[in-house]
Chains A and B, each alone.
Chain A
């Protein structure tokens, strides 16, 4: 065969594969829309998203997912509050402060933890963390917003830490030396030069780390407590969107209102993660400093 014919064939093959995967994804999207939208025949969009009551099986049923949205939002927010500082500070410690030997041992361990299956983390949250919280804070149940946020944070920390570490490590030695030569201490150099120079990589790390937690189902299903209400405190149970979908899909009759409501919840969850990605992308571009140490 002629060289050119092979080239053309290869190009077509790649295009076919790309087309296939993109089409499949589009079909899933379409399916989600087709199965979700019919719920609007029963409730208005406003009642669905901002309705305060989620009683899909009572008669008449209530399809208000606002408590689920709030649950997802709070769990994500709180897990970020825990995982971002812990992950980034661990990365700074490993890249800048720890001795070479310590970093060599700890780094692979952190990376290994990134591959921990979520069901294991959920299990740990149920049998270890929940009783601990229950006793320490003297509350009736340990499965709640706090526990779920903590477990999700532990899912994100390894990713945040190891990717941030790469970004921090790649800050040129010349910049650090410039800072030291001007009479800056190590801490000042970290805060004023190293972190700003690697901030865009750190943002990427946070996005990747948190996106592992944001649509996470298993952990929240196991440890969030499952009550579809707006929490009044850290120790109230919540029912984030993925947990609700996973728990109810099996019992919702095919084609029923409940069934459509769950698909619509999936659509809202999709919008939620989409907005998260947009915001994260915007932030990481905002902080990008030309040329230096961006991932």
Chain B
């Protein structure tokens, strides 16, 4: 089943101060597919992911070169309002980071800062997002309690719901399950698969089984370079390069 390209990068280089962290990355993300980014720690997966919603703008003395397009929006266009980019490209972080506010306010936050004033609409979307993130049943009776009282796995699903509430088209996830126990991890993985029906998902993971379970496409990064990208099944069964094979079979890591 073919799918149009939702987002792509072309010749992307990235620098922290003068240390280059990404080299010439060209990668396409098809619509409604899950793309997994794998590779050893420090190879630039997070850096790459954070380029896609220009989160790296927050780090002083960084600089990017190359092209990133979200459909026909130029992500690096100096005239671009990054707020509008981040509305379309949501992000879930490695460590759950709920605001020290109520569960309801955590989800409503994105709508409020994006100018939604209609109370009924906010309440409705809070519920929809929590349902989408498969956490509604667990929190529906405690929407006005602090989000910090939830378990780690619940907090992470809350953060996913929070990202979904602004109705993004692309969802970036940076090792969203790495801080969680196996049961919470499984819930997140099921969630990713069900969300991909409506969203384009790009997920960083250092867990190969996880990449194999949830993704349609897998890209292998090593030392800031994109080594190989292919359908997940193909990449894991018949990798083209020796380097990829060594990594997925655990010979180096």
Q: Which residues of A are interface residues toward B (Cβ below 8 A)? A: 100, 172, 174-185, 188, 192-193, 196-197, 289-292
Contact = CB atoms under 8 A, between A and B. Distances in A.
Contacts of A290: 100, 146, 148-149
A184 B166 CA distance: 11
Interface of A is mostly: helix
A181 B100 contact: no
Interface in B108-166: 109-110, 112-114, 146, 148-149, 159, 162-163, 166
B39 interface: no
Interface of B: 53, 55, 58, 60, 83-84, 86-87, 90-91, 93, 95, 97-101, 109-110, 112-114, 146, 148-149, 159, 162-163, 166
A289 B87 CA distance: 28
Nearest to A181: B91
Contacts of B113: 179, 182-185, 188, 192
Nearest to A171: B100
Given A180-B58, A181-B53, A183-B84, A172 B109 contact: no
Given A182-B87, A289-B100, 10 more contacts: A100-B60, A174-B95, A182-B113, A183-B84, A183-B110, A184-B109, A196-B99, A290-B146, A290-B148, A292-B100
Nearest 5 pairs of A and B residues by beta carbon:
A182-B110, A289-B100, A174-B97, A181-B91, A184-B113
B90 A181 contact: yes
Given A181-B53, A188-B113, A291 B86 contact: no
9 contacts: A174-B93, A178-B97, A179-B99, A180-B86, A181-B53, A181-B55, A183-B113, A192-B112, A193-B99
A182 B163 contact: yes
A174 B95 CA distance: 8
Given A192-B109, A290-B148, A292-B148, A185 B83 contact: yes
